[in-house]
Structure formats: C-alpha cells, structure tokens
Amino acid sequence: MAVIELEKVRREFPDGTVAVRDIDLRIEDGEFVILVGPSGCGKSTLLRMIIGLEDVTSGTVRIDGEDMTDRQPRDRNLAMVFQDYALYPHLTVRENMEFPLRLAKREQGEINRAVDEAVAMLEIEELLDRKPAQLSGGQRQRVAMGRAMVRQPNAFLLDEPLSNLDAKLRVQMRLEISRLQDRLGVTTVYVTHDQTEAMTLGDRVAVMRKGTIQQIGTPRDLYLRPGNLFVAGFVGSPAMNFFPARVRDGRVELPMLSYDLPAGLRELGDMLEQRDVIAGIRPEHFAWIGAAGARDADVGVDDSDEAVRFRARIDVLEWLGSELYAHFHVTRGDRSGRERTSLHDVADELAEIGVRAPEEQLTVARIDPASEVTEGKEADIWLDTGRVHFFDADTGENLALTRSEPAATG
Ligand SMILES: Nc1ncnc2c1ncn2[C@@H]1O[C@H](COP(=O)(O)OP(=O)(O)OP(=O)(O)O)[C@@H](O)[C@H]1O
Ligand SMILES: [Mg+2]
C-alpha cells in the first residue's frame, strides 16, 4: 500500500497543449480519492503520470516517499483498470487474470493462490473458462478488477471503469467497488466525469478544471462549502441555480425578491456591497412551495427571518416519485453590463455539463411532492435565505469562504 505524492506535476504535449498544470496532491495510504471534472480537464493524463504511462514535463511523482518520476511503470507496482477493460480477447478469464503474474515470472502455485483469492472475492468462479466476448459488461468489469487485484499492487488506478455499463449496473458496480476498496484497504485513485459517482465513492474528491485542481475535499465539504462557482455548479444534481445579485444597505437584492442579509453573513456585508455578486441557490433551498395565496401557517413555514417568499409561475413540474422538481422563470438580466471574462468562461464550461448560466431565466426548485402546485399557474415559493451562497462575479470565488472561518451554513 502506498502514499502517492504529486509535487508541481505538469504535462505539456509537444503541440503546446498543457493538460496538467503544476498540480500538488497528496493521497494517503489506503485512501480512496476521486478525480472528477469535465471532458478534457486532464484527469486521464494525471492518472497516467502516476502510473508512469505518460511523461512528466516537470514536477515530481513520489510513491511512499521515493521519487518515481522517471521510473518505468513496472517499478511502481500500481495496477490500472481502463475504461474499455483491455482484456485479451483470445485468453480465457483465468488466463487474463494470470497474465500479469506470468509476466512477472511468478511460480504456478503462487499464481493459483492469487487468482483463486481474487475470484472468490469477486464471485466469478463460473466465468473462469469463458472468453471476454462471452461476458456481460459488468462481468468484464469484474474480471478487469480481478486482473488488477492479483498483483497485490500498492495502489489501484481506475479510469472511468464503469462508463461502459448501463445506469442500473453502474449503481451496482459502484457499491461493489466501494466494498472491495474497503476490504482491501488499498490506496485508490478513481477517475470519472460523473459527479454522482464521485460523491458516493470517494473519501475525498478533487474537482478538476483545465489541468488544475479547483478544490479537494470530502463530498460533504464540496457540497456545503464549494470554493468557487465552478465547483458549486459542478457538484450537485440538479445543479445549483445562479442569479446576478447585489447587496445594498444590508439587504440582498435578487431578481425575484430582496431580503435582509441573514445574521450569519452580516459581517460580510461591507465586502459584499463592494462587488458584483452571483448568488447561488441549490434546488432544495427553496424551502417549500404552495398554491398562491396560501398562508405561511398552512404550509408549515414559520415566519423566522431566514425564510422569505416570492411568487413565480411554474412552467414545468417533474415528478420522480420521491422528489418533485418545479421549473420556473425568473427574469434575471445582467446588472453590471461589465465584461466578465472569467465568469463567462466558467459559465460556458458549466453549460456543457448542463448547468444554467446566471443570465438564463429558468430556475429549478426541489419541492415537497405533496405541494399543491400546478403547471402554468403562479405559486408561492419560500427561499431559505440562510443557505444562499455568494460568489464574486469577477473571480468566481465563494465570498463567504474568504473569511478566516468557514461559513457555518451550506
Ligand atoms: N497526445 C496528446 N497530444 C496533445 N494533446 C493531448 C494528448 N493527449 C491528451 N491531450 C489533451 O490534453 C487534455 C487533457 O486530456 P485528458 O485525456 O487527460 O482529459 P480527461 O479529463 O481524461 O477527459 P475525458 O473525460 O474526455 O476522458 C485535453 O485537452 C486533450 O485534448
Ligand atoms: Mg479521460
């Protein structure tokens, strides 16, 4: 088992593309770390540099304290599982699993023991004599894991191992990988662009963008305290809603309502007033939604100053059984008219993964399935104002986190 340390690791391709920009990352022994981010952000390149399949332009890769930057993959004793599993089609399952050990010239007794152990753990006894073409996607995935396990590597490196599976199987295999990692306790780095996979699997999640790590933390940390607009938009499904906002004289002005800055944020008031601000609201922080005209008491919202109400027309209701999503329009407009290069940059990237830009009009709220609302009709919507995030419109930074103490609310 291994501690993996990356120090200012950079990968620049001959054509000038910088795929990984001076990344620092320390992965503890036995830890399960996820690299997540949109397509092209450098996840696979970083993983390949750890295992030694990709040259490191500058920086250092250390495994258990030893400099491995220029060492061959075989010297690192790490095992990689690829998206397409890369099983040998002409070999049986058993032969595929034996392969890395034969290559390492281990003796037959040892090979048998290692394979039998992995086979038992993965419950694939009945598949041993089949060829990969005779296996389902999930079974191939298991065999690929088995082939990685038999070597007793110091770490597993997995590059989107579940992306070829259908949704249901993906959920099942996700649980299996999680259990397996728990049992083996082997350091694991797992690449995915699926934020649900990232949030459910990892001890820590590194959100990547354009060859950098934007934020690394526990799933809970990333969700409750996103460091910037990109992380806030990337983590969570449906994604956070963004609105242009302004803070004046202790009041927050959003396109659909204004309210007093909540107690927990008052000390930030001056700082917020001096900036263009983007407000971020998660769908579940629209606390409740009811038929227009309902009184607060009718819908169980107390009149604490943390919840305020506005009215909007519900365009679309999406009912998923346990959850109900209401989509409504809020006319936003762009208050400042200033050029916001960095922000538009982020907005474009987020748009690619389905996040709506701050100027867009549609908003999504997750509401109580028992709410009495009708498509095409107006409804009262409560906003839990204690949960609103504020981002700097120029830098995208989460302004509540620039204080010495992290924000108490999410
Ligand atoms: N051999 C290469 N030469 C030049 N550019 C490359 C090469 N390989 C990758 N890149 C570029 O490096 C960047 C990072 O690629 P990488 O494969 O690491 O992304 P990724 O995050 O794994 O994306 P995906 O989710 O699509 O797999 C991309 O812009 C890609 O086009
Ligand atoms: Mg990739």
Q: Indicate if the pLDDT at residue 340 is higher than 60.
A: no
Q: Indicate if the pLDDT at residue 353 is higher than 80.
A: no
Q: Using an 8 Å Cβ cutoff, are 61 and 6 in contact?
A: yes
Model pLDDT for residues 302-315, shown as the tens digit of each residue:
555 567 888 889 99
Burial (CB count within 10 angstroms: exposed 0-12, middle 13-18, buried 19+), residue 77: middle
CA of 142 from ligand 2 middle (Å) equals: 20
- Token representation of residue 20: 């990984």
With a Cβ cut-off of 6 Å, ligand 1 is lined by 13, 15, 17, 19, 37, 39-45, 193
Ligand nearest to the CA of 158: 2
Grouping H, G, I as helix, E, B as strand and the rest as coil, residue 328 is strand
Assign 3-class secondary structure to 40-95.
CCCHHHHHHHHHCCCCCCEEEEEECCEECCCCCHHHCCEEEECCCCCCCCCCCHHH
CA of 79 from ligand 1 middle (Å) equals: 21
Q: Using an 8 Å Cβ cutoff, are 381 and 309 in contact?
A: yes
- Best mutation site among 18, 43, 50, 53 for ligand 1, i.e. most ligand atoms within 8 A of its Cβ? 43
Q: What is the pLDDT of residue 343?
A: 63
- In 242-281, which ranges are continuous DSSP H helix? 269-273
Structural domains of the chain, with CATH: 4-224 (3.40.50.300), 239-402 (2.40.50.140)
Strands, sheet with 389-392, edge to edge from the N-terminal-most edge strand: 258-260, 251-253, 241-248, 277-281, 389-392
Q: Which residue has the higher pLDDT, 354 or 275?
A: 275
In DSSP notation, 164-188 reads: TS-HHHHHHHHHHHHHHHHHH--EE
Strands, sheet with 204-209, edge to edge from the N-terminal-most edge strand: 78-81, 155-159, 187-192, 32-36, 204-209, 212-217
Model pLDDT for residues 258-280, shown as the tens digit of each residue:
999 988 888 888 889 988 899 99
**Using CA positions, which residue lies closest to atom 4 of ligand 1?**
13
Q: What is the pTM of this model?
A: 0.89
The amino acid that residue 63 corresponds to is I
Q: Which residue has the higher pLDDT, 6 or 373?
A: 6
CA of 49 from ligand 2 middle (Å) equals: 13
**Using CA positions, which residue lies closest to atom 16 of ligand 1?**
42
